[in-house]
Structure 1
Amino acid sequence: MRPTIPQLDTWNLEGLHRAAEAARANADVLSTSVDDCSRAISAAGGWHGQTKDAAARRIDEEVDHGYEVRTVLLRVADDAADAYAGLKHSKTYVLEQKNLAVTQGFAVAPDGHVTHLDPEKEGDAGVFQLNLLSGLDELERLDTLFGARLRESVGDLGAMRDGQPDITLADGSVQDPDAVAIQLASMSADDRATFLAGLSPEAQRQLVIAAPEKLGSLNGVPFVMRIDANEINIRNALTREKAKPNRDESRVKQLEAMLSPIPNPDTAQAHTDTAAATGKDATPQLGMVDRKFVMFSTEGNGRMIEMIGDMKSGAPGVGVYVPGTSTNLNGSGSNHVAAWNLADKSGSPVFLYMEGDFPQSLTSVSDGAPSPRFAADMAPRLVDFGREIDREVAASAPGTPVSYVGHSYGGSIVGSAEQLGLRADRVLHASSAGTGVFEGGWNNPNPNVQRYSMTAPGDLIGVVQSYPDGGLTLPGGIHLPGNPHASEVLGGDPDEVPGVTRLDTGFYSEENTDHRNEVVFGSDGHGGYWDDRNSTAFQNIVGVINGSDATAYVERGIETRYVDIGLGDNGDGRKEGFDASKAAAAAALADAFGNPNLDPYANPRITDNPQLGEKIDIK
Structure 2
Amino acid sequence: MSQVVIWRPQALIDLAGAWDDAAGRLQAQADAVDDEVAGSAGVFTGSAARAAREAIGPTTAGLRGVCRALILAAAQARDAAEVITRCRDRVLEVVTDARGDGCAVSEDGTVAPPAAPSALLVACSGGSEAVARTMLDVRATELTRALQGALSALGAADAEAATAIDAAFDATPADPAPVRPAGAAGNPVADWPHLSQDAIAAAVAGMSDTDRRRLVESRPHEVGNTDGVPWETRIAANRINIADAILDQRRRIEVPDEVKLRAAVAPTLEAADAERLWAALNADPSMRAAAIAAYDHDARSRIDYYESLLADVADPVDRDRRVPRQILAFDPQRESFIELSGDLTRARALAVLVPGLNTTFDGAADDVATARRFVAGSTGDVAMITYLGGPFPTGQLVAGLVDATDPRYALKMAPRLVAFSEDVERRAGSMPVTYVGHSYGGSILGTAESFGLTADRVIYVEAAGAGVGVHDPSDWHNRNPDVLRFSLTAPGDPIGLVQGIPLGPHGADPDRLPGVIPLAAGRTLTGGPMGGLSSHSDVLNEPSDAWRNILAVITGDREHIRVG
Please tell me the TM-score bracket, short chain as reference.
0.7 to 0.9
Alpha-carbon distance in structure 2 between the residues aligned to 1:263 and 1:210: 31
2:66 is the counterpart of 1:34:
no
Whether the aligned pair in 1 keeps the contact of 2:98 and 2:111 (CA below 8 Å) is no
Deviation at 1:84, TM superposition (A): 2.5
Whether the aligned pair in 1 keeps the contact of 2:75 and 2:307 (CA below 8 Å) is no
Q: Look up the match of 2:411.
A: 376
2:42 is the counterpart of 1:43:
no
Q: Look up the match of 2:21.
A: 25
Provide Cα deviations, 1:561-613, integer angstroms capped at 9, x if missing partner. xxxxxxxxxxxxxxxxxxxxxxxxxxxxxxxxxxxxxxxxxxxxxxxxxxxxx
Deviation at 1:407, TM superposition (A): 0.3
Provide Cα deviations, 1:458-500, integer angstroms capped at 9, x if missing partner. 1111121142xxx3xxxxxxxxxx22111xxxxx111122222
Whether the aligned pair in 2 keeps the contact of 1:364 and 1:370 (CA below 8 Å) is no
Distance verdict in 2 for CA 1:363–1:265, change over 3 Å: same
Name the SS of the counterpart of 1:453 in structure 2. strand
Name the SS of the counterpart of 1:411 in structure 2. helix
Alpha-carbon distance in structure 2 between the residues aligned to 1:496 and 1:289: 42
Deviation at 1:307, TM superposition (A): 1.1
Name the SS of the counterpart of 1:180 in structure 2. coil
Match of 2:217 among 209, 212, 220: 209
Match of 1:218 among 221, 226, 241: 226
Amino acid at match of 2:336: R
Amino acid at match of 2:498: V
Alpha-carbon distance in structure 1 between the residues aligned to 2:477 and 2:358: 28
2:510 is the counterpart of 1:501:
no
Q: Look up the match of 1:409.
A: 440
Name the SS of the counterpart of 2:327 in structure 1. strand
User: Which stretch has the larger CA shift, 536-545 or 191-200?
Assistant: 536-545
Alpha-carbon distance in structure 2 between the residues aligned to 1:20 and 1:370: 45
Q: How many residues align?
A: 495
Alpha-carbon distance in structure 2 between the residues aligned to 1:205 and 1:100: 48
2:312 is the counterpart of 1:261:
yes
Deviation at 1:121, TM superposition (A): 11
TM normalised by structure 1 equals 0.71
Match of 1:539 among 548, 552, 564: 548
Amino acid at match of 2:529: V
Q: Look up the match of 2:468.
A: 437
Match of 2:163 among 128, 135, 148: 148
2:110 is the counterpart of 1:78:
no
Deviation at 1:310, TM superposition (A): 1.9
Alpha-carbon distance in structure 2 between the residues aligned to 1:23 and 1:369: 43
Distance verdict in 2 for CA 1:14–1:256, change over 3 Å: closer
Whether the aligned pair in 2 keeps the contact of 1:316 and 1:547 (CA below 8 Å) is no
CA-atom RMSD, angstroms? 3.6
Alpha-carbon distance in structure 2 between the residues aligned to 1:322 and 1:112: 54
Q: Which has the larger radius of gyration?
A: 2
Whether the aligned pair in 2 keeps the contact of 1:185 and 1:214 (CA below 8 Å) is no
Deviation at 1:359, TM superposition (A): 0.7
In structure 2, list runs of 5 or more residues that go unmatched: 114-120, 122-130, 253-259, 261-294
Distance verdict in 2 for CA 1:380–1:7, change over 3 Å: same
Whether the aligned pair in 2 keeps the contact of 1:536 and 1:551 (CA below 8 Å) is no
2:384 is the counterpart of 1:350:
yes
Match of 1:485 among 485, 498, 506: 506
Provide Cα deviations, 1:340-362, integer angstroms capped at 9, x if missing partner. 11121122221110011101146
Alpha-carbon distance in structure 2 between the residues aligned to 1:431 and 1:541: 12
Match of 1:304 among 328, 334, 337: 337
Alpha-carbon distance in structure 1 between the residues aligned to 2:92 and 2:409: 53
Name the SS of the counterpart of 1:465 in structure 2. coil
Q: Look up the match of 2:176.
A: 164
2:459 is the counterpart of 1:447:
no
Identity of aligned residues (%): 31
Alpha-carbon distance in structure 1 between the residues aligned to 2:41 and 2:179: 36
Amino acid at match of 2:489: T
Whether the aligned pair in 1 keeps the contact of 2:75 and 2:311 (CA below 8 Å) is no
Deviation at 1:143, TM superposition (A): 4.2
User: Which stretch has the larger CA shift, 144-153 or 209-218?
Assistant: 144-153
Deviation at 1:150, TM superposition (A): 3.1
Deviation at 1:363, TM superposition (A): 4.9
Deviation at 1:368, TM superposition (A): 1.1
In structure 1, list runs of 5 or more residues that go unmatched: 269-285, 472-481, 487-491, 511-516, 555-619
Alpha-carbon distance in structure 1 between the residues aligned to 2:435 and 2:424: 11
Whether the aligned pair in 2 keeps the contact of 1:16 and 1:81 (CA below 8 Å) is yes
Amino acid at match of 2:93: E
Match of 1:193 among 188, 201, 205: 201
Alpha-carbon distance in structure 2 between the residues aligned to 1:192 and 1:205: 16
Name the SS of the counterpart of 1:521 in structure 2. coil
Q: Look up the match of 1:530.
A: 540
Alpha-carbon distance in structure 1 between the residues aligned to 2:323 and 2:478: 35
Alpha-carbon distance in structure 1 between the residues aligned to 2:551 and 2:149: 29
Q: Look up the match of 2:280.
A: none
Alpha-carbon distance in structure 1 between the residues aligned to 2:148 and 2:516: 50
Alpha-carbon distance in structure 1 between the residues aligned to 2:214 and 2:529: 54
Distance verdict in 2 for CA 1:388–1:6, change over 3 Å: farther
Provide Cα deviations, 1:419-440, integer angstroms capped at 9, x if missing partner. 1111111111110111111355
TM normalised by structure 2 equals 0.78
Amino acid at match of 1:259: L
Whether the aligned pair in 2 keeps the contact of 1:320 and 1:405 (CA below 8 Å) is yes
User: Which stretch has the larger CA shift, 374-383 or 95-104?
Assistant: 95-104
Name the SS of the counterpart of 2:386 in structure 1. strand
Q: Look up the match of 1:325.
A: 357
2:63 is the counterpart of 1:66:
yes
Alpha-carbon distance in structure 1 between the residues aligned to 2:192 and 2:500: 47
Name the SS of the counterpart of 1:523 in structure 2. coil
More helix by share: 2
Name the SS of the counterpart of 2:372 in structure 1. helix
Q: Look up the match of 1:239.
A: 247
Whether the aligned pair in 1 keeps the contact of 2:441 and 2:463 (CA below 8 Å) is yes
Q: Look up the match of 2:269.
A: none
Name the SS of the counterpart of 2:358 in structure 1. coil
Distance verdict in 2 for CA 1:82–1:365, change over 3 Å: closer
Alpha-carbon distance in structure 2 between the residues aligned to 1:168 and 1:41: 26
